[in-house]
Amino acid sequence: MRLDQQKINQVNDQTLSEHRESFDHLSKVLGRKDVDANSIIGKLKEFQVAIPSWALGTGGTRFGRFSGGGEPGTLEDKISDVGLLHQLSQSAGSISLHIPWDIPEDVEAIKQLADSYGLLFDAVNSNTFQDQPDQKLSYKFGSLCHVDKAVRQQAIDHNLEVVKYGEALGSKSLTVWLADGSSFPGQLNFKKAFQRTLESLQAIYAGMPSDWKMFVEYKPYEPNFYSTVIQDWGSSHMLADKLGERAFSLVDLGHHLPNTNIEQIVATLMMVGKLGGFHFNDSKYGDDDVTVGSLKPYQLFLIFNELVDGMEDPTSNNPYPAWMIDASHNLKDPLEDLLQSLEAIKIAYAQAMLVDRAALEEARENNDPTLAQEILQAAYRTDVRPLLAQARLQAGGALDPIGTFRRLNVRKELIAARGAKTVSTGL
């Protein structure tokens, strides 16, 4: 489904003068601080976040799943939904596929379809955390870390097959997230499991095209409750470091124990040039995967403060990170939820660009924590939403993406086209 551009413009027209007033006011306020609103708008327009194919349908828990209707039942539908998000937000310029959920039957047709929506294919994801119906050996006791070499080989072959699909579509990176670990003390030899995982990853790394990157995701628990082989950023970094210069750590915001200082992890990984990818979501307890910025927007800002610092650092050799939303939507409309996440990410990014870095560095050198806090919070407490709206307006998007989604009855039309009972693949 494609939205009629004229209809988006008509909805925009209704709040245009109000928007112009807020934007002019903010531009003046920023101008007095020597901040050029247009340069921030330019960076916001360039900033694109990948949408995971598995976040477009209703997510469930092991207790139930409550579909909202009109879910994308095919890869084509998923691409079309990301196209909708991109049309409204102008910030969702790519899709991240998960194999075997998203195996393309006709690669050329899928590429053309994505292209017609202005979408690229971001990192491809392998799945060795579930057994597929036609699978020979089980991953019940792990995949890349398994004690049985044949299981490890099957998981290696699967990852290489994922790379082949990605290559055909134009992806340039593979994200590996493993459920491997143990649920009971004594179950697993930690050292051997890590060593076997490294060897398996080395085989996958060796089989990737020479211009591909590998992102190694870490997670402290779930589905294994006692240990995970790649439990934290240290383990992920050790693996990435041993694998080679095209392997990087991937930070998923929900994959930290409560109160972990994620911004410090981000700064440290960027310092050594090893932060490759980012999964955005929010969490209160663990891997809650709720809407970005819905619980801890200040933490998100502090993380972006380090990301911007790392990206602007001329001495840094960290590559430009791959951004993706990794959320699960079990109550809200998935498309509305993703629009909220995109907005929260860009608010934090824009606020982080407002930080007066020279003054902050001076305050640090003078051991002045009061001033350092004033500087950070001056940026955080600025309402940057008119900058985001202006960036969208200039790019042809909606001034108010969720308002427009509702005004144009998008979900109703999706249900009419796809039915109320379609079920999307994913978790």
Which of Zn ion, ligand AOS, none sits in contact with 306, Cβ below 5 to 8 A by type? none
Given candidates 180, 252, 309, 336, which one binds Zn ion under the rule CB under 5 A?
Answer: 252
**Binding-residue total with Zn ion (CB under 5 A):** 4
Which of Zn ion, ligand AOS, none sits in contact with 54, Cβ below 5 to 8 A by type? ligand AOS
Residue 226 CA to residue 185 CA, distance in Å, equals 7
- Minimum CB–partner distance for residue 217 and Zn ion (Å): 6
Between 91 and 125, CB nearer to ligand AOS? 125
- Minimum CB–partner distance for residue 427 and ligand AOS (Å): 5
Scan residues 283-302 and list those touching Zn ion (CB under 5 A). 287
Residue 144 CA to residue 146 CA, distance in Å, equals 6
Residue 6 CA to residue 18 CA, distance in Å, equals 20
- Minimum CB–partner distance for residue 336 and ligand AOS (Å): 20
- Minimum CB–partner distance for residue 11 and ligand AOS (Å): 33
Between 32 and 63, CB nearer to ligand AOS? 63
Residues 260-279, mask of contacts with Zn ion (x by CB under 5 A): -------------------x
* H helix or E strand, kind and range, residue 182: strand 181-182
- Minimum CB–partner distance for residue 249 and ligand AOS (Å): 13
Binding site for ligand AOS (CB under 6 A): 54, 98, 125, 177, 217, 219, 252, 279, 287, 326, 427
Between 275 and 355, CB nearer to ligand AOS? 275
- Minimum CB–partner distance for residue 252 and ligand AOS (Å): 5
- Minimum CB–partner distance for residue 254 and ligand AOS (Å): 7
- Minimum CB–partner distance for residue 316 and Zn ion (Å): 24
Going 409 to 92 to 36 to 268, the CA torsion angle's sign is positive
Which of ligand AOS, Zn ion, none sits in contact with 337, Cβ below 5 to 8 A by type? none
Between 26 and 178, CB nearer to Zn ion? 178
337 is a contact residue toward Zn ion (CB under 5 A) = no
Residue 1 CA to residue 378 CA, distance in Å, equals 42
Residue 196 CA to residue 144 CA, distance in Å, equals 7
Q: How far is CA 400 from the centre of its chain?
A: 22
Determine the residue type at 417. A
Which of ligand AOS, Zn ion, none sits in contact with 427, Cβ below 5 to 8 A by type? ligand AOS
Between 233 and 405, CB nearer to ligand AOS? 233
Quickly tell me which residue has 């500087």 as its tokens: 375
Which of Zn ion, ligand AOS, none sits in contact with 125, Cβ below 5 to 8 A by type? ligand AOS
Between 57 and 386, CB nearer to ligand AOS? 57
Between 199 and 287, CB nearer to Zn ion? 287
Contact (CB, 8 A) for 338 and 327: yes
Angle (CA) 220-222-224 rounded to 5° is 95
Quickly tell me which residue has 């017609």 as its tokens: 116
Scan residues 208-247 and list those touching Zn ion (CB under 5 A). none
Nearest position to ligand AOS, beta carbon: 177
Residue 188 CA to residue 211 CA, distance in Å, equals 35
- Minimum CB–partner distance for residue 98 and ligand AOS (Å): 6
Three-state secondary structure call for residue 118: coil
Contact (CB, 8 A) for 337 and 294: no
- Minimum CB–partner distance for residue 102 and ligand AOS (Å): 11
Contact (CB, 8 A) for 221 and 228: yes
Q: How far is CA 337 from the centre of its chain?
A: 14
Tell me which residue of 243, 213, 176 sits closest to 322, measured CA to CA: 213
DSSP-assigned states of every residue in 217-256: E--SSSSSSSEETT-SHHHHHHHHHHH-TTEEEEEETTSS
Between 88 and 253, CB nearer to ligand AOS? 253
Between 158 and 219, CB nearer to ligand AOS? 219
Checking 187-194 for CB contacts under 8 A at 24+ apart, the result is: 187/226, 188/142, 188/145, 188/227, 190/227, 192/147, 193/142, 193/145, 193/229, 194/145, 194/229, 194/235
Helix/strand/coil percentages in the chain, nearest 5: 50, 10, 40
Given candidates 306, 326, 333, 337, which one binds Zn ion under the rule CB under 5 A?
Answer: 326
Between 98 and 418, CB nearer to ligand AOS? 98
Chain contacts with Zn ion (rule: CB under 5 A) = 252, 279, 287, 326
